[in-house]
Amino acid sequence: NGELVTLEQRQVATFGPDTPAPDPTPLGPPVRERVLPAHDAFCMPDELRRSGRLVIDPASPPDFLTSKGATPAEVATAVEQVRKLVVDWVEASERAGDASLAQEVVCVGLFDDVKGANSMAVGGNWLLVGIRDLYTMYGVHGGDGLGAVEFTVGHELGHILQQKAGMVFPGPTVRGAEVHADCMAGYLMGIAVPPGTTSPAQAYARTEVHRVGDRAVDNPGHHGTPEERTTAFERGWAAGSIAQQGSQGLQQTTTMLKVCSLFAP
């Protein structure tokens, strides 16, 4: 119906089980991969300003999902979930007195991650969630996979904000940027939940961020150990939960970037 809803009110898409995804590829444009054509037109802030009404155009699922038994309705539900997550965070930030987040995100969509389960931020404009990545998260976490998806979307949104802020994370690996984005995912999730409130999404997101950690500390693609990534996420969640209490005029985007730099240098 186009209305913004809470996590508990959302219908959760369910896909079948699959093997865990490999570590996500570092930031970069998709190569020989395509944005699903029916899902590439959701852009903010124009769409957001239409009272938050979202127009979802269910497409025929790509071959990968049809081979897993996914229906167009399930795919459409997944697309709607991803888009509503971003809108919810923008709305939460605006309630806390900061409208800047609405000006940061440009487009949100699914893409056919043919090279392997992956989600990514591209060019500071697109937040792309891979269909295999979605399938993997729902497979690992079952019908409660939305919390894992929420973490992933928040993480990639964090990368977009890093790019727009011109942040640089020197070092032999990508760990700094990745753990910082983990913290921002926690902050975004926390800002939408009243302080002291227990959210099922937090538990599933915590499981997901731990799952995608790695111990290849000398590999340039090292994203952070499971413990480092979980700690960054939890601290971001705590900071976001406190910030959402309504400090009018607080620049949430700037605050989030700074807070997470302290937690995840």
pLDDT reported for residue 147: 84
Amino acid, single-letter form, for residue 166: G
* Residue 221 DSSP label: T
pLDDT reported for residue 264: 58
Residue 19 has pLDDT above 50, yes or no: no
Whether residue 201 contacts residue 146, with contact meaning beta carbons closer than 8 Å, is answered with yes
pLDDT reported for residue 259: 87
For residue 5, name the pLDDT band (cuts at 50, 70, 90): very low
| CA 128 – CA 132 distance, rounded (Å) | 12
Which one, of 55, 43, 117, lies nearest residue 80 by Cα?
Answer: 55
Domain regions of the chain by residue span: 7-263
Per DSSP, the three-state class of 149 is helix
Question: How many whole angstroms from its chain centre is CA 20?
Answer: 18
The count of residues in the chain is 265
pLDDT reported for residue 204: 84
Residue 20 has pLDDT above 50, yes or no: no
Q: pTM value?
A: 0.74
pLDDT reported for residue 105: 57
Tens digits of residue pLDDT in 36-87: 333 334 454 444 333 233 333 445 566 776 677 767 777 777 777 777 787 7
Is the pLDDT higher at 44 or at 168?
168
Tens digits of residue pLDDT in 200-232: 788 888 888 999 999 999 999 999 999 999 999
Average confidence (pLDDT) over 248-261: 75
Percent of the chain past pLDDT 90, that is, above it, reads 18
Tens digits of residue pLDDT in 110-147: 777 778 888 888 766 677 788 788 888 877 766 667 78
Residue 4 has pLDDT above 70, yes or no: no
Provide DSSP, 92-114: HHHHTT--GGGGT--EEEEE--T
Element containing residue 120 per DSSP (H, E)? strand 119-122
| CA 135 – CA 63 distance, rounded (Å) | 13
Amino acid, single-letter form, for residue 204: Y
Residue 91 has pLDDT above 50, yes or no: yes
Tens digits of residue pLDDT in 174-202: 999 999 999 999 998 888 777 777 777 88
For 141, 159, 229, 260, 261, the CA distances from 253, given in Å and listed in that order, are 30, 12, 20, 11, 12
pLDDT reported for residue 219: 94
For residue 2, name the pLDDT band (cuts at 50, 70, 90): very low
Query: 244: which 2 tokens?
Result: 């959402």
Residue listed under structure tokens 């056919």: 112
Q: What is the mean pLDDT of the chain?
A: 70
pLDDT reported for residue 59: 54
Average confidence (pLDDT) over 232-259: 77
Average confidence (pLDDT) over 160-170: 86
